[in-house]
Structure 1
Amino acid sequence: MNGLGAISSSHSLPLIRTLMDHGPLKSGMAAKQDLSMQHLRFMLQLYKRSADGDGRPKASRPVGAAVRLVRPVSQAPYIMEKKWRIQNLKFILHNLKKEELVKATVMYPRTMYFGDSSYICKVEPLPNADLFSKTRVPPGNWVWAETDITSHIRSLPEDANQSLHVQLLCRSIGKRTRSLAVSASHIPFLLIYFNPKVHNPSTEKILTTDSGKAVPRELRRKPRQVGTFGIKLPKISNQSEQLKNHCSLRPFWVSFHQLGWDHWIIAPHRYNPGYCKGDCPRLLHAGYNSPNHAIIQNFINQVIDGNIPRPSCVPYSYGPISVLMIEPGGNILFKEYENMIAESCTCR
C-alpha cells in the first residue's frame, strides 16, 4: 500500500480521509480546468470575503458554516417561444440533510444576449413557479441575480440523490446593450448554505438523575478551568534553569502541491499548521497553562523517580482553516475545518 493509501485507511485520521474522499484523486474526475471560470471566480470572491490568503477565517464569518456551489448535471437546449428563450436545468442534491440546511438560492445571469438581442432572465423551480417576489440582484454584482428556493428544497422528499429541476426564462428586451448583457455561457448554479454542526433542541439529550428527574441547568457541572495545584508541595531543589530550547510554537509551511492535492484544492495554496517543540521547565509557570497532572509529573521526576518522563511540549489551543475545494462530482465546496492550526503550546 502506498503512503496516501495507508494514510486514507487510518481510522485515526478522519480529516485526511475526508479530504481525500472529497478530492478527485482518480483520473477522469473533475479538476480546476473542467469548471466554468464564472463559477470559480464567484466562489473565489466568496472565499476572499471570508478568509485571508492563508485560509484563516475572518472574524465576521459565521463559525462552522459551509457553502456548496452545485453545478447542473444537465442543461436542455434553449426553447424559443415568441420573445422568450427557455431552458430547463437539473441539479442533484447529494446527501443534503435538511436539518443542516440554512439557505438555498439559484444564482443566474440577470441579463444575457443571444446574437444581437438582449434578454432579461428569471428562474422558477419546477413545478412550483410562485417565487419571483424573492428574487433580488446582489449589490455590486450586476452579472448574477439570485432567487431564494430554501422553502422549495425543504418541501422535497428525503432522498440521497434528490433531483431539483429549475427553469430559466429569458425575455427579449431589445437590441444588445454591451453594458447590460452578458454572454449566454454564464451557467446558472445553486448555492447551498449549510451548517454541519447545527444544534436541534428537539434532539438534545436531557441530563437526568438516577430517579429519572431532570437536573436543573444551574446545578449541572460546569467545565473546570485549568488552574495550579492547590496544596503546598515539598520543596524541590531551587536550581536555576536556563532553557536554550524552551517549549514554543514553531512555524511550518506546507503547500497542497507538495501533498499532491493542488489540482482539487483551490484555496489556500499553502497553510501553516505549526507545531510545538522544545524543553519544558522544571517549574511550570502559569504562562504554560499546564494541567495539575503535569505539575505532579514534574515533581515525581525530580523527587521520586527520574525514570518518569517530564511533561512534553504539545499544542494547547488550535484555530480553524477555511478550504475551497472541488468535490468529486464537480461541485465547489467552501468549508471550515476546526483544529487545523496550532496557536499556542503547553507542557503536559
Structure 2
Amino acid sequence: MFSAVLLLSFSLVSVCLTRPSANVLENDSLLAHESEEVRYAAIKRLLEVFGMEDPPHSPGLMKQPPQYMLDLYNTVADVDGVTKDPDLLEGNTVRSFFNKIHDEQVQYLFNLSTVAKKEKVLTAELHLFKMKPRATATFTRHHFCQVSIYQVLDVNSMNTSQGRKLLSSRLIPIHSSGWEVFSITQAVRSWAVDEHSNHGLLVKIRNLGGSQVEPSPVRFASGRDHHQSKQPMLVLFTDDGRRTAALESTLNDLNNDDPSVPSSPQGLKPPNSRSVRSLEYSEEDRLPCQRDPLYVDFEEIGWSGWIISPRGYNAYHCKGSCPFPLGQNMRPTNHATVQSIINALKLTKGIETPCCVPDKLFSINLLYFDDDENVVLKQYDDMVAGSCGCH
C-alpha cells in the first residue's frame, strides 16, 4: 500500500515537473505575440523604404513579364540588382501597361491609376509590334507608309480633327516586322492632371500620298489575336520624388535637432549607445573596420510572389574598430583622424574613437508586379554599402 502511494506521489511530482506552468505558457504566448508584432513592424518599415504602404496582391510570377522590361532591368542592374550606372535610367521608376480594350478602329486604352499624383512624368512611349505585311496591289510599288498616333479627345468624334490630337507621326518600312516605338508624353501628362480625360489612343495608317487605304497592309499585333509577348504596351518613365523627399527630411531633422529638448517622456537622456556597446565588447570588435556580407532574402521575408528580380541582394554592413593611428586603408575623414588623436591623447573627456560606417552607398533596382499586374522597375538609392571607413 505504501509503495503504491509512493508511486502515485512520484507520478504527480513528475507531471508537475514536466508540464509547463500557466505562467510559463502565458510568458511564451506573450513572447510569441511580441515577436510577431516586431516582425510586422519591421516588414512595414521595410515597405516604407521601398516606397509602398502594402505589398502588391498580384498573382505574381505566374505571368510572363514583357521582354522589354527584363532587358531594361538587365541593362541598368547587375545580377544582384545593383545599379551599373546611375545615368542609364531616366528618373527612378519605369512602368509597363498593357492595352485594356480591343477595337477594330485600332484604338488603345491604358489604365494609369497606379501612377501617384506626385510622380513627375518624364517620358511616355507607345510600343507596337508590327506584323509581317499583307501583299496588296496598292502598296506593291511603295516601301514606306505613314503611321500617326492620336490622343482621343472625344470618343464620339475621334475620326474628326476636333475629336483627336496628333501626338506622333513618321514613316515606317512596309516590308519589315518588329517593335515600333512612338512618343506619347504629351497625352500621358494631360491624363496625369485629369485622369477622366484618358479616352485612349488612335492609330491611323496612310500611304505616302496621305490617303487612308483599306485594308491596310500594315498590321500591329493586338492582345486579343496574338501572343502575349507582342501585346501593345505603354512604357512610362517617371520620378516619384523619393530622393528629394529624403533630402528634405534629412534637412528637417538637422534643423530640429535641439539638444535642450528631452528625447524621452521622462526627460531623461537615452543611454549612450557606445557605453552599451562597450559592455558587449568582443573579439570581433578588435578587428579593423571592414565590410562584411549582409544578404537580404526576399523569399524569407515573404515577397517572392511579386518580385521578379532580384531574388535577394547583398546589402553588406560595416563592423570593426577604428583604433589609433588611423591608416589610409581605413578611409578616414579628416574629422575622424582628429577625433582619433584627441581620444588617444585623452585631451578631452568623453571623446570616443571614430565609428566604422559605410562611406559609399550604391542603389539597387527592383523589378516587380503591382496590384494591376503591371511590371514596374524601380531604383532605390543608398541600399548597398559599397565600402566602409572610419568616420
CA positional deviation for 1:283: 1.6
CA positional deviation for 1:270: 2.3
Query: Quick check: which one's helix share is greater?
Result: 2
2:370 matched to 1:333?
A: no
Residue identity matched to 1:53: V
Q: How does 1:1-348 map to 2 (within 5 A)?
A: 2-10=37-45, 15-16=48-49, 18-19=51-52, 21=54, 23-24=55-56, 26=57, 29-33=58-62, 35=63, 37=64, 39-59=65-85, 61-62=88-89, 64-72=91-99, 74-76=100-102, 78-79=103-104, 86-95=106-115, 100-111=120-131, 123-127=149-153, 128-134=164-170, 142-156=177-191, 158-159=193-194, 163-167=198-202, 172=215, 183=226, 185=228, 186-197=230-241, 245-287=287-329, 288-292=331-335, 295-296=338-339, 299-300=342-343, 303=346, 309-348=352-391
CA positional deviation for 1:340: 0.7
Q: In 1, distance between residues paired with 2:340 and 2:79?
A: 41
Partner secondary structure for residue 258 of structure 1? helix
TM-score (norm 2): 0.58
CA positional deviation for 1:291: 4.8
CA positional deviation for 1:192: 0.8
Residue in structure 1 matched with residue 209 of structure 2 by the alignment = none
Partner secondary structure for residue 234 of structure 2? strand
Summarize the Cα distance change of 1:51–1:260 in structure 2 as closer, same or farther, 3 Å threshold. Answer: same
Query: Quick check: which one's strand share is greater?
Result: 1
Say whether the 8 Å CA contact 1:276–1:315 is kept in structure 2. yes
Moved more, 47-56 or 88-97: 88-97
Say whether the 8 Å CA contact 1:8–1:20 is kept in structure 2. no
CA positional deviation for 1:54: 1.5
CA positional deviation for 1:341: 0.8
CA RMSD of aligned residues (A): 4.0
CA positional deviation for 1:88: 4.5
CA displacement, residues 131-181 of structure 1 (integer Å, 9 cap, x when unaligned): 4515769xxx943222211122334471467635124568655799xxxxx
TM-score (norm 1): 0.65
Say whether the 8 Å CA contact 2:59–2:305 is kept in structure 1. no
Q: In 1, distance between residues paired with 2:107 and 2:90?
A: 37
CA positional deviation for 1:276: 0.8
CA positional deviation for 1:45: 1.0
Partner secondary structure for residue 66 of structure 2? helix
Percent identical residues = 24
Say whether the 8 Å CA contact 2:121–2:237 is kept in structure 1. yes
Partner secondary structure for residue 112 of structure 2? strand
CA positional deviation for 1:307: 6.5
Residue identity matched to 2:378: K
CA positional deviation for 1:246: 0.9
Residue identity matched to 1:56: V
Summarize the Cα distance change of 1:153–1:188 in structure 2 as closer, same or farther, 3 Å threshold. Answer: same
Q: In 1, distance between residues paired with 2:286 and 2:38?
A: 36
Residue identity matched to 1:133: S
Q: In 2, distance between residues paired with 1:96 and 1:317?
A: 30
| Structure 1 residues not aligned, in runs of 5+ | 80-84, 115-119, 177-181, 201-242
Larger radius of gyration: 2
CA displacement, residues 283-335 of structure 1 (integer Å, 9 cap, x when unaligned): 22344223526632662365257875432211111011122122222222112
| Structure 2 residues not aligned, in runs of 5+ | 1-35, 135-144, 154-163, 206-213, 220-224, 245-284
Q: In 1, distance between residues paired with 2:286 and 2:343?
A: 23
Alignment coverage as a number of residue pairs: 277
Q: In 1, distance between residues paired with 2:310 and 2:325?
A: 40
CA positional deviation for 1:342: 0.4
Q: In 1, distance between residues paired with 2:364 and 2:93?
A: 12
Residue identity matched to 1:100: K
Residue identity matched to 2:287: N
Q: In 1, distance between residues paired with 2:110 and 2:242?
A: 28
CA displacement, residues 174-219 of structure 1 (integer Å, 9 cap, x when unaligned): 799xxxxx9364321211112345999xxxxxxxxxxxxxxxxxxx
Q: In 2, distance between residues paired with 1:198 and 1:311?
A: 30
CA positional deviation for 1:44: 0.1
Partner secondary structure for residue 333 of structure 2? coil
Partner secondary structure for residue 339 of structure 2? helix
